[in-house]
Amino acid sequence: MTSPVEATLAYAEQFHHEDEILHVARQRGLEMGATPILPGGGAALCFLATAVNAKSVVEVGTGCGVSGLWLLRGMRTDGTLTSVDVEPEHQRLARQAFAEAGFSGGRVRLISGRALDVLPRLSDGGYDMVFADGAKQEYPDYLSEAVRLLRVGGIVAFGNMLWRDRVADPAQRDADTVALREVGKLVQSDDRLRSVLIPLGDGLLAAVKIAK
């Protein structure tokens, strides 16, 4: 039997519908083992990008393009998405998805490599939004880079912050779960950030940079 809480969460998730382009990109991601953000989390990313009128966005973890599509749809029409991933084949499929959605090559900059090698080369305060959905154990380091990259008023967001119900269970002590709890605590304790944990998809932690 489905509990009322489960039914409510399912209703919230199903409130957000994906078109054929997103559906195809999602299927490619699942086939490639690049599990994409769920529709509720994607819709939240689109909403946040729209709310900050995002022109410059950094994404850690291109996958096969699902989260990038949601971000691009929320960004300004003259905006640029910079997306980093270690898998060139994933990025090739993401580029295909972006083209199918009508986003020109000039709207997306794909960089192949480890995020912690690439992010330090990006400009301080030059971005409106940073979305991280890469290696979970690197999330605390992504946070440090994101705060540097963001302008005041910009948003950092982390995917999988509920991690299949593991984060809320204190008995779960694997390295990925511990790292997710750590980044949550770091965000909560940082006076430069104002945060919210959104229980859509697998959990989305978002924080606005309110001070340098």
- Domains in the chain: how many in total? 1
- pLDDT in 10s for each residue of the chain, 212 residues: 889 999 999 999 999 999 999 999 999 999 999 999 999 999 999 999 999 999 999 999 999 999 999 999 999 999 999 999 999 999 999 999 999 999 999 999 999 999 999 999 999 999 999 999 999 999 999 999 999 999 999 999 999 999 999 999 999 999 999 999 999 999 999 999 999 999 999 999 999 999 99
- As a whole number of Å, the CA-based R_g of the chain is 16
CA-to-CA separations, 127 to 19, 83, 156, in angstroms, rounded:
28, 13, 10
Task: Identify the bridge partners of residue 159 per DSSP, sorted by sequence position.
Answer: 204
Give the other-Cβ count within 10 Å of 71's Cβ. 26
Q: Give residue 176's pLDDT.
A: 98
What the block records as the tokens of 79 is 């905006």
Q: Read off the pTM.
A: 0.97
Inter-residue contact 93 to 28 (CB < 8 Å): yes
CATH number at residue 164: 3.40.50.150
Q: Give residue 2's pLDDT.
A: 86
Inter-residue contact 87 to 58 (CB < 8 Å): no
In terms of residue numbers, what domain contains 33? 4-209
DSSP string, 134-150: S-GGGHHHHHHHHHHHE
Inter-residue contact 53 to 128 (CB < 8 Å): yes
DSSP string, 104-170: -GGGEEEEES-HHHHGGGSPTT-EEEEEE-S-GGGHHHHHHHHHHHEEEEEEEEEE-SSTTTTTT-T
